[in-house]
Structure 1
């Protein structure tokens, strides 16, 4: 039972040793032709509004005068994760963000680039972050150790947070749907309503998790400046 249940997250459809399930990440490109044939359209207006709202919010957390345009890196990260989260809600579409292969490959290079930039250009600033202001001298070694460990596990926590949230909702939907054939017809409508409510919740979780990953990555980058 558990093998069949977790197999929904297993990219096993292969062609010439290439996983076809990962091609689901490219399904977002089917929306691009709207931009070329009809301007302005509703999708483009919505996309621009989201971009501007995120840009105005992200630049408050960055030193925008010194890093102009850097907010669009995190906006692109938000939109990419959001697209993949949404695509995973459709039937028979592989959820790429439910795998550490994707989430860790996003968080680890970003974290490494922030750390390398910070230690190479703002070493004194990075050392200051190791010891919070007002820390007693006797606790200084422990605080340095704790801050070092917290910095090292940041890419893992970012990756696991997104993966766990995507897997949890999909597993719950799968468990409930598997029991549909074993319950009386009277409770089918109740099960259907619960599934719809869970799907709405997963829709909200997809947006929230994309925003959380983008915000945390932005905060990690702002610490090295």
Structure 2
């Protein structure tokens, strides 16, 4: 279980608060206006932004002081974060070993991950030789080999067209279901939340509200969600 215990994150003059928990295997969408703090919350959970106060707990262990790379967290960023000079195989391998000194078993894991996301046979290509959707799949494969129980998505598919974005979201949901991964994703599109997230937190006015069931929330929106939807 992920628990945000009276958490407060500050960036300049802006402060975001959150005080709630999320069950293992849950899929949560963070939705709200631009600048409301959705990415700030992900940065705090991932360890890139130290809290001003409060704690972040995973399975009742306090991970607040733990460095990002040591947390049970994998994160997909908006740009995919692929290195253009490395092959797709080596980009994915970075999820296992930053020095890329992979064992035979680790290379097998990379190949299996590429096959799982539909990139079998493309391991030697550079990111610039792939389509936008294929680059997103490569970034997802790197997350897959990391095998972390908590996956954060900071709109990694925002640049894709609607059909491709829906396909990638379905693939993420399928993979999360297979592994029991807890998923938190930032989205500006209510359709994305309704597509794969059983729970939604509205982030507005400096607060990430406690998660509620997505269908019920959109059927009877809170005032903050109504303001966002217009």
TM-score norm. by structure 1 comes to: 0.29
Identify, as 1 or 2, the structure richer in helix.
1
TM-score, normalised relative to structure 2: 0.28
Rg (Cα) greater in structure: 1
